[in-house]
Structure 1
Amino acid sequence: MKKTLAWAVTAGIAATCTLGAALPAMAAADTTSAAVTSAATPGSTFDTSRLSPEVKALVDEMLANLPADWQERRDAAAAKYGIHETQWADLRNSIINPGDHQCGNTAFRNYANSLRTNIQDQDLRDWLDVFGAFDIPTYDALFFGSESKSNTFGVNGEYTNELTSEGKNLKKFWDIYSDDIQLMPMHGREVYSSPERVARVLSLMFGIKDEPAVLRLAKVVISLVNADPVLQGGDNPLFTFNAFAFSEKGSPQPYGISDRIVMGDGILQALKALGLGDTAPRAVLAHEFGHHVQYEDNLFTNTKLTGPEATRRTELMADAFGTYFLTHSRGEALNAKRVLGSEKSFYEVGDCSFSSPGHHGTPNQRLAASSWGASVANTAANQGHILPSLKLDELFEAKLPDIVKPDATN
């Protein structure tokens, strides 16, 4: 049985392990080997001898104080909570013939790659990957985030008013129960300024129950993050490069996490860097709320599609639902041309991983789904009428084959 976690894509959280008491007690790691296998780059190893003396001392301290099976625990936690099931993961393979579709790298993906290559100390970056440091703000938001009037959105709070206002409008617009959906930010520096917040995440990741021990590890991780100024103490977009919706609706083993939408600073920074900061942040939020419509209407399971094609369907549907809201006269009432210019944000994050379980649609397919959503709103005979969500889904299901049809030109 799977819970459902929708990021800027939708992914399953496989309930495959239990952390804590069921795991072995904390034990000293074997530090006699100079290299550790990377989770981010399977099969590769990172040699501590290449690190600066200061960073090497911190890495060695981490290795000496983590449980002996820390890598297995890290991977089990990531699988259980779906931490790596995002469109930023290293997607591979193919389900439909890539030659049938126009697909390639986009400016968004090139920007994401540049974030990693711009880090001055690449060996430090790799060790932060290995220790799961880039995942810590995601864990923090997922398990410990909450909606509050004091929350801000964006590194400098620049998106607070528009996203907070839109969150309220989305609840009024859609015909689902949404009073329990919380909208919250994901900040990097804020998390990495608190050893206690980092420690509670490390406890989740590695199953460490010794509070003084995990607090010491948290301080080491924070020192590693602060070792390269490019990482900005956690404000580098890499730490918060995500947006996701979460619901435990129908889960037989709930964690007790409320329905939520999390907006990471890194996504907002990326949109601005690419010139998509106009309506794109609102488009991302509307997309994520579209996933909550799917949760409430049971649209994740109401399909015969499986694997990558099922994920692609829900992602394209969320694109369409989000744009319908943005352009509807009773939604955000935004000009369709303006919205679709910013909806390029979904074009930009389209992917070519045709057979990956996380395939979300090619760039052209994502833009086509958004364009269709706008057309439904703009061509309606009664501009003041909001289609019931199940009726909009019915129309989308009929349109889906056209949205995903081959578009390559020979």
Structure 2
Amino acid sequence: MKKTLAWAVTVVTAATCTLGAALPAVAADTTTPPAATSAAVTSAAPGSTFDTSRLSPDLKALADQALAQLPADWQQHRDAATAAFGIHDTQWAALRDSVINPGDYQCESNALRDYQRTLLQGANFEPLFFLYFLGVFDMPTYDALYFGSESKSNTFGVNGEYTNELTSESKDLKRFWDIHSDDIQLVPMHGRELFSSPERLAPVVSLMYGIPEENRKVALGLASLIIDVINLDPVLQGGDNPFFTLNAFAFSEKGAPHPAGIGDRIVMGDGILEAMRAIGLGATAPRAILAHEFGHHVQYEDDLIGDRDGTPEGSRRVELMADAYGTYFLTHSRGEALNAKRLLDSEKSFYQVGDCAFSSPGHHGTPNQRFATASWAAGVANDAANQGHILPSLTFDALFETKLPDLVKPDATN
């Protein structure tokens, strides 16, 4: 069984594999010559070499040093690590045929998409493409997943503003759901903290590129060069640009423990928390994201992922189910007890993160489907005759499976 990494929030520029597709759209607002942009896109393709001849002198010097120090098989190690940890599995695996008709569904621009398009405005594309080529935008994920751990000293949010809220909710979630959850760690994902020094970054560099421990000097040198490239562009804010950490995910090793003992965890990135604040959803969305991610752990523990995982329909079922588990907890009198109407009003915007990637094995469901699922789950909590009773997780799943065909009907027929 492969490792499982469930991505909660799919934002176009959140992950390394997206960068090649996202940057040209922004390039229209820059002064980068078309020829240079085209060359950069080609150079940045995974598995290729990187032509540094068109780079500015400062960046070319750093890039040449970095490429000279990388092991010959660094790309294979990077790709193997990505596959082993499932980092891109749900969103960026090979596209598969889908029976879903895109013409029947609604997907429109929204505040979150508008916000994420602003993150790289004014950025220099040369260092961006080189960082993409090296896989640097995945490094905060590796750091949180492989080296992070739950600790009383952890903070959530760029300024720690979500620390109390999320740590308290994590405890509530463990009390609420009837699964084994004592071992689920809540771990932050920070950007600038990781890129603060070569010593801090070097273990991630070694992990990604397959650099042996005895070659720590090489890892330190590469880490230093990566930090220098990041610092060439003030738009990247030394790693604090939300671009680096614009995601949240759940990870489980159930059935396939990793030799390093990573264990079960939920990772919350500073970037996604900042994004929710920026679009006016900071009061509810962070809790909704965490509740959704914990819903994935309910699925793992109850073996609810099923053999349909890996197809668009299977992924949609898994993600909508996690939405349902999350909203049920948030609105239940023994959960967060949030006002259902106010929560759902907020989630009209929050669930706009739904996508129209109908043929992608990481399809999360359309915005309308995600909101319909949340509305249904809130109704299950609020309409219960016994408000103090928490449905067993498997009983709740049975209700969800019965309702699912209605939740995924084309928008035109809802």
Q: TM-score, normalized by length of structure 2? A: 0.86
2:49 & 2:352 partners in 1: Cα distance?
A: 32
2:167 & 2:301 partners in 1: Cα distance?
A: 22
Q: Is the 8 A contact 1:248 1:254 kept in 2?
A: no
Specify the code of the residue in structure 1 equivalent to 2:216: E
1:174 & 1:160 partners in 2: Cα distance?
A: 22
Answering whether residue 169 of structure 2 is matched by residue 163 of structure 1, we say no
Question: Which residue of structure 1 lines up, in the alignment, with residue 179 of structure 2?
Answer: 176
Question: Which residue of structure 2 lines up, in the alignment, with residue 368 of structure 1?
Answer: 372
| Structure holding more helix per residue | 2
Q: More displaced, 185-194 or 63-72? A: 63-72
**1:84-113 CA deviation, whole Å, 9 max, x = no partner?**
3465x5996762110111123433233223
User: In structure 1, the residue corresponding to 2:296 is in which secondary structure?
Assistant: helix
Specify the code of the residue in structure 1 equivalent to 2:343: V
Answering whether residue 202 of structure 2 is matched by residue 188 of structure 1, we say no
> Superposed, which structure 2 residues align to 1:315-326 within 5 Å?
315-326=319-330
Question: Which residue of structure 1 lines up, in the alignment, with residue 2 of structure 2?
Answer: 2
| RMSD (CA atoms) | 2.4
Q: Alpha carbons of 1:186 and 1:252: their partners in 2 closer, same or farther (altered >3 Å)?
A: closer
Question: Which residue of structure 2 lines up, in the alignment, with residue 351 of structure 1?
Answer: 355
1:211 & 1:350 partners in 2: Cα distance?
A: 42
**1:236-261 CA deviation, whole Å, 9 max, x = no partner?**
01111110111101116554112111
Shift of 1:372: 1.0
Q: Is the 8 A contact 2:319 2:364 kept in 1?
A: yes
> Superposed, which structure 2 residues align to 1:233-248 within 5 Å?
233-248=238-253
Q: More displaced, 179-188 or 190-199? A: 190-199
User: In structure 2, the residue corresponding to 1:296 is in which secondary structure?
Assistant: helix
Question: Which residue of structure 2 lines up, in the alignment, with residue 55 of structure 1?
Answer: 59
User: In structure 2, the residue corresponding to 1:343 is in which secondary structure?
Assistant: helix
1:101 & 1:129 partners in 2: Cα distance?
A: 32
Answering whether residue 219 of structure 2 is matched by residue 214 of structure 1, we say yes
Q: Alpha carbons of 1:94 and 1:340: their partners in 2 closer, same or farther (altered >3 Å)?
A: farther
**1:342-367 CA deviation, whole Å, 9 max, x = no partner?**
32354221111111111111111111
Shift of 1:308: 1.2
Specify the code of the residue in structure 1 equivalent to 2:206: S
1:208 & 1:131 partners in 2: Cα distance?
A: 14
Q: What 5-or-longer segments of structure 2 have no aligned partner? A: 11-38
Answering whether residue 314 of structure 2 is matched by residue 277 of structure 1, we say no
Q: What 5-or-longer segments of structure 1 have no aligned partner? A: 11-34
Shift of 1:200: 0.9
**1:358-408 CA deviation, whole Å, 9 max, x = no partner?**
111111111111111111101111111100000000000000000001113
Q: Alpha carbons of 1:40 and 1:383: their partners in 2 closer, same or farther (altered >3 Å)?
A: farther
Shift of 1:67: 1.7
Q: TM-score, normalized by length of structure 1? A: 0.87
Answering whether residue 270 of structure 2 is matched by residue 265 of structure 1, we say yes
Percent identity of the aligned residues? Answer: 70
Specify the code of the residue in structure 2 equivalent to 1:397: E
Shift of 1:305: 6.8
